[in-house]
């Protein structure tokens, strides 16, 4: 039998019991749709996390106090007597001879649950005390006004840069705010700039924060003794020097803190570290979800096998007749295999469309809820699902088809 005939017979046969055909196909449709949707959402989540990590700035490293050895390198030596990071540490990192790969440094102190009040409105917010280099390192842009300079930091100027979300909460607008007054824990500040929105899910987003000079924050709002800082943002000179910068930071800080290699009381992460951690987490998540979805595809395949077995029994006489008029075992095998393969392939195609729609719908729902998630149906996922569903059809079709093919014509014709 030629291919066209086989296809015609297959369609005719599947068409003759539409309800059964569609129910059988439904198993595959749901399985494939679930796989497609899960992979798309996983990919979308990964993309949005990656882009929010990238939005932190470019070639950034984070230095924070405390050892990372216990958590990340499986080290057992608990570091005692942790020295806090200080402004002096930050300055030391700017030494061009010891740290040629470092372009800029921004020490930051951070205080949360600070009461912010303006024009009769009141809310709590997070305040960052930073130096003038912060804006360029973090790639913060202003929609109006200007960032404070070194001099304003030195004189403990009471000036503030306000995040757009916080501005909306307090003032009901995000423009014409320069010159307005803002009270942080009762201290009066003059707004000198408004930040451009970075988007809701960005890591370390300043949309809902206030940025003020480091000195003012330390002395009047967050109250830190000495020169302690919470985190130092370091920008490497370019993408290739990030790991060198990492080494140089560690060397300098080990010297300043008088600690040996392996017992550091500080930790350095690069954006790359964050990215790879995030990627591996979302990767595991995607694989997990995809795996669960694949189980439903498997169940769908078993459904196909079940129906094909019933169909073989039902059509025993037909098989007998076909053999009587000259069908070889192979002809019968091909006939039943093509039915199950067609079922699962068509189910797979419908499943791809359904999965695509589901992931788009979830993206829409996510954006309505204020989260940026753009599910991505990748070509690979589509190919994988198509191949996999066809394979499921063939695999689960083989057993029933062989049973049909191996029926003895005499027995089959006698079957009632």
Partner 1 sequence: MIAAIEPVIQAKDLSKVYRMGEVDVHALKDISLHIKRGESVAIMGPSGSGKSTLMNILGCLDRPTSGDYFLEGVEVSGLSDDQLAGIRNQKIGFVFQSFNLLQRTSALANVELPLNYASQPTDGRDRAAEALRAVGLENRMKHRPAELSGGEQQRVAIARALVNEPAILMADEPTGNLDSKAGQEIINLLLKLNQERDATLIIITHDQKVAAQTQRIIQIRDGMLEENQL
The contact set with partner 1 (CB under 8 A) reads 1-2, 5, 12-13, 16, 317-318, 320-331, 408-410, 413
Nearer residue to partner 1 within complex by CB, 137 or 333: 333
Residue 22 CB, shortest distance to partner 1, in Å, is: 17
Nearer residue to partner 1 within complex by CB, 45 or 332: 332
Residue 307 CB, shortest distance to partner 1, in Å, is: 17
Residue 409 CB, shortest distance to partner 1, in Å, is: 5
How many helices (H) and strands (E) in the chain?
A: 14, 12
**344/308 Cα distance (integer angstroms):** 12
Tokens of 225: 């003794």
Nearer residue to partner 1 within complex by CB, 258 or 416: 416
Nearer residue to partner 1 within complex by CB, 173 or 328: 328
Nearer residue to partner 1 within complex by CB, 103 or 323: 323
Beta carbons of 13 and 339 less than 8 angstroms apart:
yes
Nearer residue to partner 1 within complex by CB, 2 or 76: 2
**374/8 Cα distance (integer angstroms):** 41
**170/193 Cα distance (integer angstroms):** 15
Nearer residue to partner 1 within complex by CB, 1 or 376: 1
Tokens 């200080």 correspond to: 86
Residue 316 CB, shortest distance to partner 1, in Å, is: 11
According to DSSP, the residues that pair with 102 across neighbouring strands are 236
Residue 322 CB, shortest distance to partner 1, in Å, is: 7
Cα 280 vs. chain centroid, distance in angstroms? 10
Sign of CA dihedral 327, 333, 339, 341: negative
What is the 8-class DSSP label of residue 259? -
Residue 330 CB, shortest distance to partner 1, in Å, is: 7
Backbone angles phi and psi of 240, in degrees to 5 = -75, -20
Residue 12 CB, shortest distance to partner 1, in Å, is: 6
By the 10 Å C-beta count (0-12 exposed, 13-18 middle, 19+ buried), 370 is classed as exposed
Residue 238 has, within 13 A of its CA and on its CB side, a CA count of: 1
Residue 392 CB, shortest distance to partner 1, in Å, is: 26
Residue 395 CB, shortest distance to partner 1, in Å, is: 25
Helix (H, G, I), strand (E, B) or coil at 60: strand
Nearer residue to partner 1 within complex by CB, 13 or 267: 13
Sign of CA dihedral 214, 125, 177, 188: negative
Of residues 372, 332, 55, the one with CA closest to residue 203? 55
Nearer residue to partner 1 within complex by CB, 117 or 321: 321
Task: Output the 3-class SS for 131-166.
Answer: CCCHHHHCCCCEEEECCCCHHHHHCCCCEEEECHHH
């Amino acid at each position: 039998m030629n291919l066209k005939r086989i296809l015609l017979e297959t369609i005719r046969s599947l068409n003759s019991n539409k309800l059964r055909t569609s129910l059988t196909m439904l198993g595959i449709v749901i399985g494939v749709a679930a796989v497609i949707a899960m992979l798309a959402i996983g990919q979308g989540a990964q993309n949005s996390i990656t882009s929010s990590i990238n939005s932190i700035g470019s070639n950034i490293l984070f230095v924070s106090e405390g050892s990372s050895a216990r958590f990340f390198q499986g080290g057992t030596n608990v570091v005692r007597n942790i020295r806090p990071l200080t402004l002096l540490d930050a300055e030391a990192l700017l030494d061009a001879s010891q740290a040629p790969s470092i372009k800029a440094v921004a020490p930051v102190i951070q205080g949360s649950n600070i009461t912010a009040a303006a024009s009769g409105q009141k809310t709590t917010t997070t305040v960052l005390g930073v130096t003038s280099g912060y804006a360029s390192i973090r790639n913060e842009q202003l929609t109006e006004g200007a960032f404070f300079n070194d001099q304003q930091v030195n004189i403990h100027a009471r000036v503030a840069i306000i995040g757009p979300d916080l501005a909306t909460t307090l003032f009901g607008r995000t423009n014409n705010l320069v010159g307005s007054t803002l009270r942080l824990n009762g201290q009066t500040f003059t707004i000198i700039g408004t930040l451009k929105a970075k988007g809701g899910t960005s890591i370390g987003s300043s949309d809902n924060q206030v940025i003020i000079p480091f000195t003012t924050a330390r002395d009047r709002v967050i109250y830190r003794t000495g020169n302690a800082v919470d985190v130092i943002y370091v920008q490497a000179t370019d993408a290739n020097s990030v790991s060198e910068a990492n080494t140089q930071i560690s060397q300098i800080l080990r010297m300043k803190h008088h600690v040996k290699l392996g017992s550091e009381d500080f930790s350095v992460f690069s954006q790359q570290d964050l990215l790879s951690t995030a990627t591996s987490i979302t990767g595991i998540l995607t694989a997990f979800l995809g795996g669960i979805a694949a189980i439903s595809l498997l169940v769908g395949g078993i459904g196909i096998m079940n129906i094909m077995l019933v169909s073989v029994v039902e059509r025993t006489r037909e098989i007998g007749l076909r053999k009587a008029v000259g069908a070889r075992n192979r002809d019968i095998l091909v006939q039943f295999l093509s039915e199950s393969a067609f079922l699962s392939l068509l189910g797979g195609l419908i499943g791809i469309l359904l999965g695509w729609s589901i992931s788009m719908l979830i993206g829409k729902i996510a954006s309505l809820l204020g989260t940026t998630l753009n599910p991505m149906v990748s070509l690979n996922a589509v190919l994988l699902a198509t191949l996999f569903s066809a394979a499921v059809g063939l695999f689960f079709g083989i057993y029933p088809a062989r049973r049909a093919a191996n029926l003895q014509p005499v027995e089959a014709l006698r079957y009632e």
